[in-house]
Structure 1
């Protein structure tokens, strides 16, 4: 009988330890000037941080500023291939992951205990890009978010 009375109290005391993660809310962001679009996890990147330099798009931040996300259409007036475009950007040394095709490139590495992830898709006159920076210690928590963002990047 006594165990029956204690059990609900014990269960309630354990609830904070067993909190279930909230589902992520997503919204498609469209760069109207170029037709680029991408899924943005708006429940994670809750602050807009203005327009990025160098082309139309938008920058986003987490509420605590520990991660940022940029979606941008960068003019590609020379019609550079993704490989040449990436080389011209002069990414930091020590790239951990890189994939380059005739249609896109992906590059990622760790810099100052932060993972940076950059994907750019080639389109008519532009490279449609996403850049995500987040704490390296949180890599596992970010893997699914980064994958969805990357795979959703498209243009008309």
Structure 2
């Protein structure tokens, strides 16, 4: 029995993405100045890109730079609620997913064939955030990674 070529090509393209979620090495990353911490798959985000713009923390890339993760503490001097803070950031139109509570907000959408995901937890005088960008075509492979990162964000 012959295996269709398209099937073989799709396995080769998505095999690394499928493997990384279950086999990732995770470590706790902490921003010392704010105490913000998160579980981070260090075997996926292997390149340290330095501090992000507009806050303290770090930005990381996959080796092939197809995805990135930013962990940061953003000043919130007026101690705005998550809803007010988000509104002041003027998020782009077309947000596909939005959840806002008194403690955090999550927004996500697609731009230029890439999913962007942003979660910020409210702390005293800061919003502690994770921002993740990855190819929309790999959404299913990234779901468990994004969920773990998001659920482990602590202030």
Gaps of 5+ in 1: 1-15
Gaps of 5+ in 2: 1-10
Deviation at 1:90, TM superposition (A): 1.1
Deviation at 1:55, TM superposition (A): 1.5
Note the 1:72-151 alignment, pairs <5 A.
Answer: 72-151=72-151
Deviation at 1:91, TM superposition (A): 1.2
CA distance in 1, matches of 2:88, 2:66: 28
Which structure has greater strand proportion? 2
Deviation at 1:21, TM superposition (A): 2.7
The aligned counterpart of 2:19 is: 21
Q: Secondary structure at the match of 2:19?
A: coil
Q: Secondary structure at the match of 2:140?
A: helix
The aligned counterpart of 1:8 is: none
Give the number of the structure whose alpha-carbon radius of gyration is greater.
1
The aligned counterpart of 2:4 is: none
Residues 79-134 of structure 1, C-alpha deviation per residue, up to 9 Å, x if partnerless?
11100111111111110000000000000000010000000000011000000000
Residues 39-92 of structure 1, C-alpha deviation per residue, up to 9 Å, x if partnerless?
110010000000011111000000000001000000100111100111111111
TM-score (norm. length: structure 2): 0.86
CA distance in 1, matches of 2:115, 2:80: 26
Runs ≥4 residues deviating over 3 A: 16-20
Provide the aligned C-alpha RMSD in A: 1.8
Note the 1:22-61 alignment, pairs <5 A.
Answer: 23-61=23-61
How many residues get paired? 140
TM-score (norm. length: structure 1): 0.86
